[in-house]
Amino acid sequence: MGARCVAAPILDESGSVTAAISISGPVTRISRDRIQAYALATKKAASAISAQLRQSR
């Protein structure tokens, strides 16, 4: 059994990485044919968090 993980950076107002989010799971749940969908969802979430952080300052 193996594991897969995807991650995306959370950026501050200057574009610097300040944090990151990720999802991970066993290869039986994060299959190769689904990894792109998980990566896209992770990137969208990171982008939304980054935007919220910029607005709160």
55: exposed, middle or buried (C-beta count within 10 Å: 0-12, 13-18, 19+)?
Answer: exposed
Amino acid 5: pLDDT: 96
pLDDT tens digits, one per residue of 2-46: 999 999 999 999 999 999 999 999 999 999 999 999 999 999 999
Read off the pTM: 0.86
Domain ranges of the chain: 3-55
